[in-house]
């Protein structure tokens, strides 16, 4: 990771923010960025030497120096090799980075929107940033900078003109969201969903819910929290909310096609502009709004963004423009064509809930194309899914993979491919869910990737609609790269 320091800091200012001893010499030297990887260091950057389970950044200080780093932040009082550049000695580089981020953002007038959840937080962030950009200068989390390192780096890169920060917060252990929230101090918090991602590390959905509610730990006194209206663990009066250890902020519920929710998108007759809805808010009569996203994950993400926009005073027309022009992240519910094959690319990550939602989107896309005529294109041939492992499910892995396979079967798939260590469980679940054996294809790990990819290629047909989804570590995008290279119309 590497971010620019905006504005640049002198070494003396940097030391003060880190609570490190000021350098003996060179305190006036300007530092223009912070890098956690020595290979990304640019001249004038500070190298943050992190110690992890598999590597120690202190081993690469010489490399950072050779790349003309201005200084190193470390917890080691001395190195094996001679180092000429200044050393900023701290107790813990990660905590020191957090202190610096707080010092640099303390007292700034910008508003902070913090987004977390088991499913949909990155898409919600993208829509929210685009909506708020219709009225404000927005600074947002880039890529996957959503953890104990990425979030403080995002804060440090905040430009002076930023009026709103849109921050994504990820976690896989208790206490992580609390730390991030206390760094960012959100004015508006969004919890998109409570699922089973990381249940193997946290033990239950209730524990996951408590971890997400840590978002409240750093919220401002006038904070507002947006929750999904269909999330039973966070329903009004739910035990986890009643038992929360601190003061609850003002809470609004957000639900697509839910007239009881505070913020809702209710259907109204279609028009030539595309599907139109009535955007219902607590602050006045519903107003018409056009939105053309497909699939409930995208719709709910867009509605959260619309609600945030409304709370910060963006008019409905601006909300509509922001939703229409948003740049959505790669490998997340992207629909595109490879020749005459249509792909629903959702392979960035996977949990049981997100796989089920992707299967629903697959069916929705197929049904839309069945309606006469759809942009002059013929109906899809078959709906096909390529599903891989869902990780960090612990003792729940077998049951959840089987349930997911059964859900895919109930969605009327023409063909199901499964791969990875847990492929057998997905396949057995699909068969238990009623799929014929000949329509479930296991791409066995005993074969090479090329052999499995070639088998996928050989069984696909022109005009198929293919969903690809698995956990990040499964590398499902490799199959898409193979199809791009070898698929012929």
pLDDT at 376: 59
Q: What is the mean pLDDT of residues 90-102?
A: 93
Give how far Cα 135 sits from Cα of 130, 290, 436, Å.
Answer: 10, 19, 53
The tens digit of pLDDT for each residue in 444-475 reads 888 999 999 999 999 999 999 999 999 989 99
Q: What pLDDT band is residue 10 in, cutting at 50, 70 and 90?
A: very high
Domain spans, the chain: 2-92, 107-325, 334-486
Q: Is 99 helix (H, G, I), strand (E, B) or coil?
A: helix
Per-residue pLDDT at 273 exceeds 70: no
The answer to whether residues 151 and 184 touch, using CB atoms and an 8 Å cutoff, is yes
Per-residue pLDDT at 272 exceeds 80: no
Per-residue pLDDT at 108 exceeds 70: yes
Assigned CATH for 107-325: 3.40.1190.10
Q: What pLDDT band is residue 486 in, cutting at 50, 70 and 90?
A: very high
Per-residue pLDDT at 375 exceeds 60: no
**What is the share, in percent, of the chain residues with pLDDT greater than 90?**
70
CATH topology of domain 334-486: 3.90.190
The answer to whether residues 384 and 465 touch, using CB atoms and an 8 Å cutoff, is yes
The model's pTM is 0.89
The answer to whether residues 164 and 139 touch, using CB atoms and an 8 Å cutoff, is yes
**What is the share, in percent, of the chain residues with pLDDT greater than 70?**
96
Do β-strands 263-267 and 276-281 pair in parallel, antiparallel, or remain unpaired?
antiparallel
Q: What CA–CA distance (Å, rounded) separates 281 from 296?
A: 19
DSSP for 316-360? HHHHHHHHHH--PPTTSSEEEEETTEEEEE--S---HHHHHHHHH
Q: What is the mean pLDDT of the chain?
A: 90
Nearest to 181 by CA among 159, 207, 214, 209: 214
Q: What is the mean pLDDT of residues 280-304?
A: 91
User: Given 3.40.1390.10, 1.10.645.10, 3.40.1440.60, 3.40.50.2300, which CATH number is that of 2-92?
Assistant: 3.40.1390.10
């Amino acid at each position: 990771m590497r971010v620019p320091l905006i504005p640049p800091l002198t070494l003396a200012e940097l030391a003060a923010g880190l609570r490190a001893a000021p350098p003996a010499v060179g305190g006036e030297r300007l530092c223009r960025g912070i890098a956690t990887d020595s290979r990304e260091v640019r001249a004038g950057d500070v190298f943050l030497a992190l110690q992890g389970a598999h590597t120690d950044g202190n081993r690469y200080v010489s490399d950072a120096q050779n790349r003309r780093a201005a200084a190193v932040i470390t917890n080691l009082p001395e190195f094996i090799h001679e180092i000429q550049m200044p050393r900023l000695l701290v107790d813990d580089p990660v905590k020191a980075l957090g202190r610096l981020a707080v010092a640099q953002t303390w007292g700034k007038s910008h508003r902070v929107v913090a987004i977390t959840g088991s499913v949909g937080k990155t898409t919600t962030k993208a829509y929210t940033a685009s909506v708020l950009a219709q009225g404000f200068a927005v600074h947002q989390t880039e890529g996957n900078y959503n953890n104990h390192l990425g979030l403080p780096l995002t804060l440090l890169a905040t430009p002076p003109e930023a009026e709103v920060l849109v921050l994504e917060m990820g976690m896989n252990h208790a206490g992580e969201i609390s730390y991030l929230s206390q760094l960012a101090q959100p004015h508006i918090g969004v919890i998109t969903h409570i699922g089973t991602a990381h249940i193997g590390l946290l033990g239950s959905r209730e524990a996951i819910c408590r971890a997400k509610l840590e978002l409240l730990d750093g919220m401002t006194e006038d904070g507002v929290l947006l929750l999904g209206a269909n999330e039973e663990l966070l329903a009004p009066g739910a035990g986890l909310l009643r038992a929360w250890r601190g003061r609850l902020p003002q809470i609004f519920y957000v639900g697509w096609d839910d007239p009881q929710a505070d913020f809702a998108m209710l259907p109204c007759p279609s028009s030539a502009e595309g599907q139109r809805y009535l955007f219902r808010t607590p602050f006045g009569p519903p107003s018409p709004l056009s939105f053309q996203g497909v699939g409930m994950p995208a719709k709910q993400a867009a509605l959260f963004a619309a609600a945030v926009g409304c709370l910060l005073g963006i008019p409905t027309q601006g909300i509509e423009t922001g939703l229409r022009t948003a740049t959505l992240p790669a490998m997340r519910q992207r629909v595109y064509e490879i020749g005459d094959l249509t792909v629903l690319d959702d392979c960035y990550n996977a949990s049981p809930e997100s796989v089920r939602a992707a299967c629903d989107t697959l069916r929705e896309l197929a049904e839309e194309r069945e309606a006469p005529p759809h942009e002059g294109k013929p109906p899809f041939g078959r709906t096909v899914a390529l599903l891989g492992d869902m990780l960090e499910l612990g003792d729940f892995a077998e049951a959840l993979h089987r349930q997911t396979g059964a859900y895919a079967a109930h969605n009327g798939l023409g063909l199901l491919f499964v791969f990875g260590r847990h492929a057998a469980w997905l396949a057995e679940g699909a068969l238990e869910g009623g799929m014929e054996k000949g329509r479930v294809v296991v791409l066995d790990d005993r074969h090479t990737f090329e052999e499995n990819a070639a088998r996928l290629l050989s069984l696909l047909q022109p005009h198929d609609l293919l969903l690809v989804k698995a956990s990040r570590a499964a590398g499902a995008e490799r199959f898409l790269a193979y199809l791009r290279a070898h698929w012929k119309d």
